Chains A and B, each alone.
Chain A
Amino acid sequence: MTNGTMTSELAEETSERGYLDMDLLRFTTAGSVDDGKSTLIGRLLYDSKAIFEDQLDAIEEATKRRGDAGVDLALLTDGLRAEREQGITIDVAYRYFATPRRKFIIADTPGHVQYTRNMVTGASTADLAIILIDARKGVLTQSKRHGFIASLLRIPHLVVAINKMDLVDYSEEVYREIVRDYTAFSAKLAIHDITFIPLSALDGDNVVNRSTKMPWFDGVTLLHHLENVNISADRNLVDFRFPVQTVIRPNQNFRGFAGTVASGTIQPGEEIVALPSGKTSRLERIVTANGDLDETEAGDAVVLTIADEIDISRGDMIVRKKNLPQISTRVDAMLCWMDEESLDTSRHYLLQHTTQTVQAHIGKLEYRIDVDTLHREQVETLGLNDIGRVEIETAKPLFFDAYSANPETGAFILLDPYSNKTVAGGMIRGAARGADEVETSEEKPTLEEQKSPDVVWEGWNVDLAEREERNGHQAAVVWLTGLSGSGKSTVAREVERRLFEAGCQTMLLDGDQVRHGLCGDLSFTPGDRTENIRRVGELARLFFYQGSVTLCTFISPYRENRDWVRSLVPEGRFFEVFVDVDVETAKERDPKGLYEKALKGEIENFTGVSAPYEAPTTPELTLPTQQLSVDDCVQRVLDMLAEAGIVDDALGES
């Protein structure tokens, strides 16, 4: 080891305090072979004192046996013998260390080409992902793949650790170039918090201690970031979901339902619904061995009792009466295939979701995603390490939320009923298009329900193809979604101007504008927001069939609503553009002074302050407006349209 001294401050703190009020951060690491991942983990463990002398001795001996000198920190994290012999890590391994602030659980996953499966496994429980990049090599295909998986699995925080800075003379320019490349790439992903840190795992620069060799870097060290990144806001505390694991019945007088609160909070006295029965009752007690609780929230393992005798068993879900999950036997999902035996659409599998296990059948394989280019490919099957979008039918209804809104109720695994192996991990996007919603309650207005059933639709008089022929371009709906102040309108106005000047038929529908007229009667409650989008969606559809490139700028916080609009126009003609900005920045920008009012409580149901925003799962385009100029954003939208063949290539850059 070149620099084995731990900061004495850290050592003192660590041994002085009892670590009792720490919280827990789970992170995963990914990198290509030899990027220095093992060295980095070894460094974190060593510098935080999680390595003991006998382990060090063993490593020293092992290093010597291999004919090397000193201590190879990487050996600390190479577990099984087969791997030691091959000199590579082949599976997910878990490591632990703690500082006085936090306990850390590392899911160490290899960056090998064929091991997408391991990274998905490690990422499924992670709050944060560290992606290693060798400063000499820059952004490789694999670094992108790791970013894509992190985004697919909705890891809320990403750190790009640019390692081996010592080998590029601690060059700021090299660092900046990698940041630029990676930012350009990650714009396509749903990653909201990304932090870049230049470091040297071998020497420890910017890992635990600030580097003196990179004075140009004004960010924090890796450990500092890990200790301070805010994860308390990542949980879904809105939608109460309680999948029942088992029934506790010690005697005739007590009947409780044991489980872990998947999301949301609840208090005794609140009205509940049991799914699938739809029976309602009232929550009576929240029982734990340490006494009853006044409230329980996501993550708690508790026992609930309810006021009425209703039949509830394992696999059922207890929810709040006014906030139901989606219920369907057909779901649209992303699958990551993990078995050597490929997906077989003619077979049955078992699908394990929350505490339910049901028979399932993959009805349709929509496409596979090439994880390197992010292109969609038509394929017949999914093989080991493939990721694809499918439609799944289940023998019994699932109670779920979109994975993007609630990973706990959006995640599932597929099991092979013959080999019993876990063959795939899946993330639900929503009910499959056209799937019948299983009715349980009148509370959540779904868009479908409101359609007039008796109107017979005749088809268009002049059809779209003729209009497009005359216009010289295709029609499309470009849907810009994002927080107030994210820059939706600014971008859309400029895009429309450019399209118009190039001779395109266009229309711009803007949130504020329709609120003054068409939707002037609507408020901002969830029900009215849904109705607002319904009207606007129908309006966009009319403009679409009239041949326009229709730009729509609406906060549109609910995924379900946006997906519904998507379903109104043909495949490939709807472009969801996620105008991404973090709430803090939006608050600072606050062009209309709305955040200020919302924060003072003068506006109710304000997205980002007092109402939730569900970010898109797989938008066609993400615009990280904190990193891009308006011109860049505009150009990306135009490029996207040109690339999809909607408008002339000349409008696109390339």
Chain B
Amino acid sequence: MKLVDSEKHLDRNSHLKQLEAEAIHLMREVAAQFERPVLLFSGGKDSIVMVHLARKAFYPARFPFPLMHVDTGHNFDETLIFRDKLVEELGVNLIVVSVQEAIDAGRVVEETGPEASRNGLQIVPLLDAMREYQFDAAFGGARRDEEKARAKERFFSHRDRFGQWDPKNQRPELWNLYNGQKRPGEHFRVFPLSNWTEMDVWQYIALEGIEIPSLYFSHEREVVDRRGVYLALTDFVTPLEGETVSRRTVRFRTIGDATCTGAVDSAAATLEEIIEEVAGARTTERGGRTDDRRSEAAMEDRKKQGYF
């Protein structure tokens, strides 16, 4: 397969250049229209791409907002190491919001059972932090192609004082004019990657030579087979009764909370191989996430409450 020759200047009509320009335009709009934006950084490839775009959008200046990581406490080591290195290189401010602390403080209650997930628990500490720091716009790396409920999400997504999203009452979004008007206490989620697909993200990473955590590349590790999803064996994931642990050659298509992010069998060890694999893939990225599978409308419910 022919991969991008990063030396070669890509035609500006190419889809990647257009998507890049769209994202940069959006980030600059946010910087101009809002007082205190923040970039929600999960450590995954989408938020890494967002950081890369933010760098380009304000070059040669530094981008004018901090990063915020809502930490479930269930991280892969690689994610945190990568995050800290990136932050140091950029010289930006990183705010870490801890779900564990919110649990300890009784702000949220930990789910129980084998499918317990801390994803839903991110909402409260996230909104607490938005209030504490008075952020009025938060960049998220969500893409419309990820999930049905996201297909109708706007670039500028209004949230009321309670951080809630009302899918029935969204502002129409026309041309490239983005309405960021709001009342005090309200905020916006802004999604610069809305129009990107998983394939676009990978191609862009290859085109721009963006560094990403090693978890995305094929490696060997011990995994627990939980109802067809391979979860990495970690301090937070141990086999339940009847489950087996095996050593497999896998990679992750998304990296989030280690308790619900599944690995896939893969020998793809380079970007070229990953792109080839994605082109031939027959399941979505989120197909490997146990939390979305709970019900058909799972994502929509979480979004209404203020999920990313």
Contact = CB atoms under 8 A, between A and B. Distances in A.
Contacts of A254: 60-61
A352 B177 contact: yes
A53 interface: yes
A88 B28 CA distance: 36
Interface in A280-308: 287-290, 297, 299-301, 303
B296 A94 contact: no
B24 A301 contact: yes
Interface in B189-207: 194-195, 197, 199-200, 203, 207
Given A52-B287, A246-B31, A301-B25, A105 B195 contact: yes
B105 interface: no
B181 A52 contact: no
Interface of A: 14-24, 52-55, 58, 61-62, 77, 79-82, 90-96, 98, 102-103, 105, 117-118, 120-121, 124-125, 232, 245-246, 248-250, 254, 256, 258-260, 287-290, 297, 299-301, 303, 314, 338, 350, 352-353, 355, 407-408, 411-413, 415, 417, 420-422, 425
Interface string B275-292: 110011111100100000
B28 A246 contact: yes
B216 to A, nearest CB: 17
B14 A23 contact: yes
A104 to B, nearest CB: 9
Contacts of B13: 23-24, 232, 299
B61 A250 contact: yes
Interface centre among A62, A250, A350, A420 (most CB of B within 10 A): A420
Interface string B260-298: 000000000000000110011111100100000000110
B247 interface: no
Contacts, number: 199
Interface centre among A20, A124, A248, A425 (most CB of B within 10 A): A20
A20 B300 contact: no
Nearest to B20: A301
B194 A407 contact: no
Contacts of A20: 2-4, 10, 14, 16, 203, 207
B15 A301 contact: no
The dominant DSSP class at the A interface is mixed
Contacts of B297: 81
B172 A338 contact: yes
A18 B279 contact: yes
A448 to B, nearest CB: 30
Nearest to B23: A301
A234 to B, nearest CB: 11
A650 to B, nearest CB: 46
Interface stretch (B107-115, B123-131, B134-142, B143-151): B143-151
B283 A53 contact: yes
B11 A425 contact: no
Contacts of A258: 28, 57-58
A14 B282 contact: no
Interface centre among A52, A103, A249 (most CB of B within 10 A): A103
16 contacts: A15-B279, A18-B3, A21-B10, A21-B11, A21-B14, A53-B282, A79-B152, A96-B144, A124-B174, A246-B28, A250-B60, A290-B56, A300-B21, A412-B177, A415-B179, A420-B183
A248 B172 contact: no
Contacts of A300: 12, 21
